[in-house]
């Protein structure tokens, strides 16, 4: 998980939601931009996105959203993750 | 400000960022396993 803020904010976020993984901080949003997640609507809204990568680092699924209501298409992500796990199985 | 695009079937660009774990994390640390990369809209 990556958030557009400071390491302190990332730490508080991870603690608050008791996340079992680390949260990376991208204060200048340079990694967001490298993944095509620029700000939208007069640059007021930071776009969110989810990407699934296989073991070689290749992008197998990508979804970007401006509307926070649809920021994470969970069913779609799970389906693609399941498919990815099957093809990655040795 | 330029915005690059990433596409399906292309390698994800590597990056290194400070993390809540107290040390930097790189995407390349996760080579060999599937990765879910979730960029959230804001820390709230």
Q: How does pLDDT run across A22-73, given as a tens digit for each residue? A: 999 999 999 999 999 988 777 778 999 999 999 999 999 999 888 767 667 8
Q: Do B40 and A33 touch (CB under 8 A)?
A: no
Residue from B8, B14, B20, B44 whose CB has the most chain A CBs within 10 Å, to mutate: B20
Measured in residues, chain B has a length of: 44
3-state secondary structure of A68: helix
Per-residue pLDDT, B1? 43
Q: How many whole angstroms separate alpha carbon A70 and alpha carbon A77? A: 12
Nearest chain A Cα to B32, which residue?
Answer: A55
How far is residue B9 CA from its own chain's centroid? 16
Q: Give pLDDT < 50 ranges for chain B.
A: 1-3
Closest by Cβ to B17, choosing from A2, A36, A58: A2
- With beta carbons less than 8 A apart as the criterion, state whether B19 and A11 touch: no
pTM of the predicted model as reported, rounded to 2 decimal places: 0.89
Per-residue pLDDT, B4? 63
Q: From A32, A24, A75, select the one nearest B6 (Cα to Cα).
A: A32
Per-residue pLDDT, A79? 93
């Amino acid at each position: 998980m990556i958030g557009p803020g400071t390491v302190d904010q990332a730490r508080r976020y991870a603690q608050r939601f008791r996340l079992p993984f680390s949260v990376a901080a991208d204060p200048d949003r340079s990694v967001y931009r490298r993944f095509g997640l620029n700000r939208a609507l007069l640059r007021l809204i930071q776009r969110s996105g989810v990407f699934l990568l296989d073991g070689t680092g290749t992008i197998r699924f990508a979804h970007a959203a401006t509307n926070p209501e649809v920021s994470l298409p969970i069913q779609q992500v799970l389906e693609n993750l399941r498919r990815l796990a099957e093809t990655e199985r040795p | 400000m330029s915005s690059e695009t990433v596409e399906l079937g292309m390698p994800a660009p590597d990056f290194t960022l400070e993390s809540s774990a107290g040390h930097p994390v790189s995407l390349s640390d996760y080579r060999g396993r599937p990765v879910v990369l979730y960029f959230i809209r804001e820390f709230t």
